[in-house]
Amino acid sequence: MPSVSMTINGKKVLGEVEARTLLVDFIREDQRLTGTHVGCDTSQCGACVIHINGEAVKSCTMLAVQANGAEITTIEGLANGDELHPMQEAFRDNHGLQCGFCTPGMIMSAVALAKRNSAPSEKEVRHYLEGNLCRCTGYHNIVKSVIAGARAMS
Amino acid sequence: MPRDDGIGAAVRRKEDFRFITGRGSYTDDLNRPGQAFAAFLRSPHAHARVDSINVSPAMAVEGVVAVYTGQDLADAGVNGLPCGWQVHSKNGEPMAEPAHPALAQGKVRHVGDAVAVVIAESRTAARAGAEALEVAYTPLPAIPNMKSAKGAVATVHDDVTNNQCYDWELGDEAEIDAALAASAHQVTLSLVNNRLVPNPMEPRVAIGDFDHASGEHTLYTTSQNPHVIRLLMGAFVLGLPEHKLRVVAPDVGGGFGSKIFHYAEEAVVTWAAAKLRRPVKWTSDRSEAFMTDAHGRDHETTVTLGLDADGKFNALKVITDANMGAYLSTFAPCVPTYLYATLLAGQYTTPKIYAGVRAWFTNTVPVDAYRGAGRPEATYVVERIVEEAARQIGVDPAELRKRNFIAPDAFPYPTPVALEYDSGNYAGTLDKAMAAVDYANFKSRQAASKAAGKLRGIGFSAYIEACGIAPSAVVGSLGARAGLYESGAVRVHPTGSVTFYTGTHSHGQGHETTFAQVIAERLGVPIDNVDVVHGDTNKIQFGMGTYGSRSLAVGGSALAKALDKVEAKAKKIAAHLMEASADDVEFKDGQFTVAGTDKSVGFGDVALTAYVPHNFPHDELEPGLEEQAFYDPANFTFPAGCHICEVEIDPDTGRTEIVNFVAADDFGNIVNPMIVEGQVHGGIAQGVGQALLEGCLYDGDGQLMTGSYMDYCMPRADDLPNFKVETQVTPCPHNPLGVKGCGEAGAIAAPAAVMNAVTDALRSAGVSKPIDMPATPSKIWSALNGA
Amino acid sequence: MYNFNYQTASSADDAAAKVSASDEGKLLAGGMTLLPTMKQRLAMPSDLVDLSKAGLSGISVAGNVVSIGAMTTHDTVANSKEVASAIPALAKLASGIGDPAVRNRGTIGGSIANNDPAADYPAAVLGLGATIVTNKRSIAGDDFFTGMFDTALEDGEVITRVDFQVPETASYIKFPNPASRYAIVGVFVAKTAGGVRVAVTGASPCVFRASEMEAALTANFSAGALENSSVSANGLNADIHASAEYRAHLVGVMAKRAVAACS
């Protein structure tokens, strides 16, 4: 079996995986970081979004072996100890989540957006979140959260 | 000064920390030591005889532990899945209730019907095993829709020869026909309420576990009501006594109704875990969810409204065909009857109403409650026909509604369709919504759009909802096989912190915060000192779960009752501490005082005394401070309101954009306005989804054509606008908190508002023939081009 | 997903050799289509040869030609200053493919090699008359897309880059499928040194040039010039989202909007 090594949330991890192991399964099952979720099988829902080398990607559409040597951040690695990331704080302050299932992917996408655009408009946020589905919030408060979170990050 | 964490405060949610940090605990996040994995082989046919199943090739796959078929379950005495509600046809006969085996026995009846389960050491091995199974099918003619069900070219169930589940009615058809005939105006519409796939973002998961030493079975499942699952699965399917069966529904990623029902996979993994003496885990993928989660809606209706010369509604007649799918899901029969026809009075004084509902079996996924369940369908019928009538007789749609509203002083108001509305002020919410949308200037906005080559339309939806199911006696008389009360237990700990055990279940609704606010307000303890526990039958004595916007109205009432008991006992303890009579003790802001004195003792001291009773009046009081209450509502409660939608259509492409959406809702008293607003937003999004985007389609062979997000259109962030949400407060007069319910309002109200707006926009371009949901660009373009 | 051997390639030739040496080998570029297909167990390659370390990504501009390496992601193209200044329509097209996370992985080479009937890039390649450069040869855009999910690529042939001639003006407008967000119809219009080109994706089994529209625009490059030209609905795709007639109509609407957006 191929062996992989990568850095997840600042921690070096090693593993032996089948070639077909999806990165999300490596993260959830092997590393037991279950904050990253799987909500579809057609790469559309975005519940599995993580950062690889700083970029948002769908970990359900990538093999673990493709992430060999990569620097990965998952939702568990976003906060600085007990100090929440401003985007996490913004989601809580603005009721940007209900059931919480899409939330990790949503927050990871939002952080990626905010890094590129510190003052996104409502329209830009809605467009950027095209690849993240939420069934609970109607997006209204997610959009509000992302705008507030981006402002807090800058 | 009101508390900043009590009733009425927009408190940040207590549950959010774990969700935003990735520390939620959803069922798929759980893994049991030594667990095996289940994969189901599912029918590729809509309708077929299963001639043989050869399990040997699957058993030969490396890692496969066991394969079970329907025959194995039958041999083990496993029963089919029960239906929780019995409807009788108008001739008095009970509905047709065909068997619903957990794994197919002899026949498959929809694409996705489970044929066998393969259990293996890994998920991939289980899947490979399922693929290796050899099943010989003889395809049978499929019944893909209600039209072909009526034609009965084939029968979905051999013992239901006309494919009809029931033929039910409410009201006197001849009387209503006569009233319609005598009306100055008659307006008729044919409407389709499109089939939807609920699509909570978390797919279903079930883990069966068995402790051989204790004989205890445990099911971890993605459920909105773990006690109901324990009751149905334990008593009816597997024959397990409740003290040996624990059902846990941990964090659940949305439900919207689809996680109310007892599903085959839950029973199969629980049974297999005991048989194999190791945990068995099944995780649905999204494709599997599309063909196994109960779908919603799927009605075809003809509605006729009779009006007198002044535009007063005389009579309403509604004939509806409802698709049940291939089997009766847990609550399916009540959705198009008691949760639908009883709401057809809407907000109006229509004196005579008739509803005839025929339910059909088809070779499709079972249909059951989906957010709103019956009430969106009723609102859609009523609000479409009222708006159509307004346009046809040339009265402003707001004005026509006002002429027919039940007046605020007419409550309690008995409707001709078996309900008694508790309270309401319908003109109030209509006026609020009209102001919020700036109705007065709509015409100028419409003209501006026209000048820019766009079609603008506006549509109303003045909805009523019955929620807080149920008064058990009432629902029992209507065929519910269980009462639908709720339970709650308040445990005060020695230092005054509180744990509340509720039989409701939160899967996004924010109960951990809302209930805690009620407790903080009542007991004067900080919200951080209150925890809410739900979702585990070993921790909570009993509960009916969360659906039908019932949690606060029913579960919150049980909490209020339990708090009454806590306060009563605490007063006795306080009286003892202050050497006063309990009758003289007052309790406010966490302090017990004796009227007319300066004596005072804090809630924490009372709690400590209850548990560390050095000087306790044992002859009068037991130690401890914990109380449980069951609450069975006196009536449904009736939230209502008005949503107005304004759309702009691009006639070149047929694309509709929602340019304005306002909601004015009356949910009675509100505990957490932030959470209530969020519930409304989500409901509206699902309603807009139904109106413009979502539609589950089968082809003529019963193949699912919208089996993934590639074809089933889920609302995305850029499909929706920001919503303007306002509330009005007309308290519920019969429950202790005065609350109604807010979870479903958006999904109930929005479809009619959007479609009335689309219809209005099309009418401005001379297209008078209404189109059905979802109003996709392609459908609108066809309507505009006479195609 | 069925299991397979995973290999990495150090160059295009290395990739070609490794695929040729395997039973049923396939190239892995961004994987945005291949991996979902494999997850559905609809493909069963014996080997995946990963191109990510084959040195095939990057953008360069030389004279009148913008060269985009096959493994360059959509996001890189969308945010490239060079592309934005030379062929803004191409940057805009890339910025509208899939969603942000998909754009961070998906590549131009993977997209055109797959030739999905509803993909965006084929419209740009055909609309700009680009040249596809492989480890073996150069293929004219006009000759590259041969049918649904089919291209002129031969076994053992690996795309290394795509060369785009900078047009006088160009624009791409699409009407997305409401569910998948792939193009129901996408039209790329360009005024190039070799004449006006109109490439249509999403509408038919394979991207194609709308010759009647090209003729009309050659005579008069304005949206109005398209009033009387159309594409026939014959042979166009029809599905639950759009009939052939609706698609034919949308080709006209998108073409006019694309022309109007050309500055």
* pLDDT tens, position by position, C171-227: 999 999 999 999 999 999 999 999 999 999 999 999 999 999 999 999 999 999 999
Chain-centre distance of CA B344, in angstroms? 19
Q: What is the pLDDT of residue B643?
A: 98
Instruction: Give alpha helix (H) positions in B405-510.
Output: 426-437, 442-451, 472-477
- Shared domain check, A101 and A48: no
Q: How many residues does chain B have?
A: 787
- How many structural domains is chain A composed of? 2
**Contact between chains at C179 and B777 (C-beta distance less than 8 A):** no
Tell which CATH architecture fits domain B31-140+201-254+259-292. Answer: Alpha-Beta Complex (3.90)
Q: Is some CB atom of chain B closer than 8 A to the CB atom of C240?
A: yes
Please name the residue of chain C whose CA is at the shortest distance from the CA of residue B124.
C1
Structure token digits, residue B369 = 């409650």
| pLDDT surpasses 90 at B742 | yes
Whole-angstrom distance, CA of residue B604 vs CA of residue B492: 9
Segments making up each domain of chain B, as ranges: 16-22+485-631, 31-140+201-254+259-292, 299-470+635-784
Phi, psi of B549 (to 5 degrees): 50, 50
Residue B244's pLDDT band, with cuts at 50, 70 and 90, is very high
Query: Which distant-in-sequence residues (6+ apart) come within 8 Å of B119 by Cβ?
Result: B36, B37, B38, B64, B65, B66, B67, B68, B126, B272, B276, B280
Phi, psi of C208 (to 5 degrees): -145, 165
- Residue-wise pLDDT for B377-395, tens only, equals 999 999 999 999 999 999 9
Segments making up each domain of chain C, as ranges: 5-50, 59-261
**Contact between chains at A92 and B710 (C-beta distance less than 8 A):** no
Burial B23-62 (b: 16+ CB within 10 A, else e): bbebbbbbebeebbbbbbbbbebbbbebeebebeebeebe
Whole-angstrom distance, CA of residue C86 vs CA of residue C83: 5
- Shared domain check, A72 and A9: yes
Q: What share of chain C is helix, strand, coil (3-state, %, to 5)?
A: 35, 25, 40
- Shared domain check, A92 and A70: no
Q: Which contiguous run of DSSP H or E holds residue B130?
A: helix B123-132
B610: helix, strand or coil: helix
Instruction: Give alpha helix (H) positions in B43-85.
Output: 56-59, 70-75
- Shared domain check, A46 and A96: no
Q: Is some CB atom of chain B closer than 8 A to the CB atom of C95?
A: no
Please name the residues between 9 and 48 in chain C that touch chain B, using a CB distance below 8 Å: 40-41
Nearest to C258 by CA among C214, C219, C228: C214
Whole-angstrom distance, CA of residue B496 vs CA of residue B499: 10
- Shared domain check, A123 and A72: no
- Shared domain check, A36 and A69: yes
Q: Using CB atoms, which residue from C178, C249, C253 is nearest to B713?
A: C178
Instruction: Give alpha helix (H) positions in B325-477.
Output: 375-393, 397-404, 426-437, 442-451, 472-477
**C-alpha distance from B39 to closest chain A C-alpha (Å):** 16
**Contact between chains at B711 and C242 (C-beta distance less than 8 A):** no
Q: What is the pLDDT of residue C44?
A: 94
C-beta of residue C226 within 8 angstroms of C-beta of residue C255:
yes
Q: Which amino acid is at B157?
A: H
Please name the residues between 7 and 46 in chain A that touch chain B, using a CB distance below 8 Å: 18, 20, 28, 33-42, 44-45
Q: Which contiguous run of DSSP H or E holds residue B123?
A: helix B123-132
Partner residues linked to C212 by β-bridges: none
Tell which CATH architecture fits domain C59-261. Answer: 2-Layer Sandwich (3.30)
Please name the residues between 356 and 415 in chain B that touch chain A, using a CB distance below 8 Å: none
- Residue-wise pLDDT for B676-727, tens only, equals 999 999 999 999 999 999 999 999 999 999 999 999 999 999 999 999 999 9
Whole-angstrom distance, CA of residue B209 vs CA of residue B238: 14
**Mean pLDDT score, B314-322:** 98
| pLDDT surpasses 80 at B787 | no
Domain housing A112: 86-153
How many A-B residue pairs are in contact by the CB < 8 A criterion?
A: 181
Judging contacts by C-beta atoms under 8 Å, the chain C residues touching residue B713 are 178-179
Please name the residue of chain C whose CA is at the shortest distance from the CA of residue A124.
C100
**Contact between chains at C240 and B711 (C-beta distance less than 8 A):** yes
Please name the residue of chain B whose CA is at the shortest distance from the CA of residue C244.
B778
- Residue-wise pLDDT for B159-169, tens only, equals 999 999 999 99
Residue A122: which CATH number? 1.10.150.120
**Contact between chains at C179 and B653 (C-beta distance less than 8 A):** no
Chain-centre distance of CA B350, in angstroms? 27
- Shared domain check, A72 and A94: no
**Contact between chains at A128 and C4 (C-beta distance less than 8 A):** no
Chains contacting A (3+ CB pairs below 8 angstroms): B, C
Q: Is some CB atom of chain A closer than 8 A to the CB atom of B616?
A: no
- Tell which of A76, A80, A97, A136 to mutate to test the B interface (max B CBs under 10 Å): A136
CATH fold of C5-50: 3.30.43
- Shared domain check, A94 and A52: no
**Mean pLDDT score, B326-331:** 97
- Residue-wise pLDDT for C27-69, tens only, equals 999 999 999 999 999 999 999 999 999 999 999 999 999 999 9
Residue B483's pLDDT band, with cuts at 50, 70 and 90, is confident
Please name the residue of chain C whose CA is at the shortest distance from the CA of residue A49.
C101
- Tell which of C1, C174, C253, C256 to mutate to test the B interface (max B CBs under 10 Å): C253
**Contact between chains at A142 and B199 (C-beta distance less than 8 A):** no
Please name the residues between 262 and 291 in chain B that touch chain A, using a CB distance below 8 Å: 285-287
pLDDT above 70 covers a percentage of chain B that reads 100
**Mean pLDDT score, B168-179:** 98
- Tell which of B291, B778, B782 to mutate to test the C interface (max C CBs under 10 Å): B778
How many A-C residue pairs are in contact by the CB < 8 A criterion?
A: 72
Please name the residue of chain A whose CA is at the shortest distance from the CA of residue C99.
A131
| pLDDT surpasses 70 at B1 | no
Q: Using CB atoms, which residue from A19, A66, A130 is nearest to C99?
A: A130
Q: Is some CB atom of chain C closer than 8 A to the CB atom of A57?
A: yes
Chain-centre distance of CA B194, in angstroms? 17
Judging contacts by C-beta atoms under 8 Å, the chain B residues touching residue C242 are 778
Kindly tell me the burial class for residue B158, based on how many C-beta atoms sit within 10 Å of its own C-beta (0-12, 13-18, 19 or more). Answer: exposed
Preceding peptide of B470 cis, ω within 30°: yes
Is the Cα torsion angle B221, B223, B228, B233 positive or negative in sign? Answer: negative
- CATH class (in words) of the domain with range B16-22+485-631: alpha beta
Q: How many residues does chain A have?
A: 154
Residue A69: which CATH number? 3.10.20.30
**Contact between chains at B201 and A98 (C-beta distance less than 8 A):** no
> Among all chains, which residue has been given the structure tokens 């169930």?
B157
Judging contacts by C-beta atoms under 8 Å, the chain C residues touching residue B131 are 41
Q: Which of A77, A98, A125 is the last residue of a domain?
A: A77
Query: Which distant-in-sequence residues (6+ apart) come within 8 Å of B10 by Cβ?
Result: B672, B673, B674
- Shared domain check, A38 and A91: no
Q: Do domains B16-22+485-631 and B31-140+201-254+259-292 have the same CATH topology?
A: no
Q: Is some CB atom of chain A closer than 8 A to the CB atom of B152?
A: no
Q: Which amino acid is at C210?
A: A
Q: Is some CB atom of chain C closer than 8 A to the CB atom of A65?
A: yes
Structure token digits, residue B487 = 């339970």
Q: Is some CB atom of chain B closer than 8 A to the CB atom of A134?
A: yes
Structure token digits, residue A43 = 């790469």
Chains contacting C (3+ CB pairs below 8 angstroms): A, B
Q: In what order do the strands lie in the sheet with B640-650?
A: B455-464, B640-650, B655-666, B724-728
Answer left, alpha or beta for residue A142, where phi above 0 means left and psi between -120 and 50 means alpha: alpha
Please name the residues between 195 and 234 in chain B that touch chain A, using a CB distance below 8 Å: 199-203
**Contact between chains at A84 and B254 (C-beta distance less than 8 A):** no
A68: helix, strand or coil: coil
Judging contacts by C-beta atoms under 8 Å, the chain C residues touching residue A18 are 3
Judging contacts by C-beta atoms under 8 Å, the chain C residues touching residue A130 are 99-100, 181
**Contact between chains at B710 and C243 (C-beta distance less than 8 A):** no
Q: How many other CB atoms sit within 10 Å of the CB of residue B308?
A: 12
Radius of gyration of chain C (CA): 18
Please name the residue of chain B whose CA is at the shortest distance from the CA of residue A77.
B21
**Contact between chains at B777 and C243 (C-beta distance less than 8 A):** no
ipTM: 0.98
Judging contacts by C-beta atoms under 8 Å, the chain A residues touching residue B686 are 135, 138
| pLDDT surpasses 80 at B613 | no
Judge: domain B299-470+635-784, CATH 3.20.20.70: no
Please name the residues between 569 and 588 in chain B that touch chain A, using a CB distance below 8 Å: none
User: What pTM was estimated for this model as a whole?
Assistant: 0.97
- Residue-wise pLDDT for B488-547, tens only, equals 999 999 999 999 999 999 999 999 999 999 999 999 999 999 999 999 999 999 999 999
C-beta of residue B459 within 8 angstroms of C-beta of residue B645:
yes
**Contact between chains at A100 and B508 (C-beta distance less than 8 A):** yes
Kindly state the greatest CA–CA separation across chain B. Answer: 87
- Shared domain check, A29 and A8: yes
Nearest to A44 by CA among A102, A115, A122: A102
> Among all chains, which residue has been given the structure tokens 């030594």?
B34
Phi, psi of B236 (to 5 degrees): -105, -35
Please name the residues between 71 and 90 in chain A that touch chain B, using a CB distance below 8 Å: 74-76, 78-79, 84, 88
**C-alpha distance from C59 to closest chain B C-alpha (Å):** 31
Q: What is the pLDDT of residue B511?
A: 96
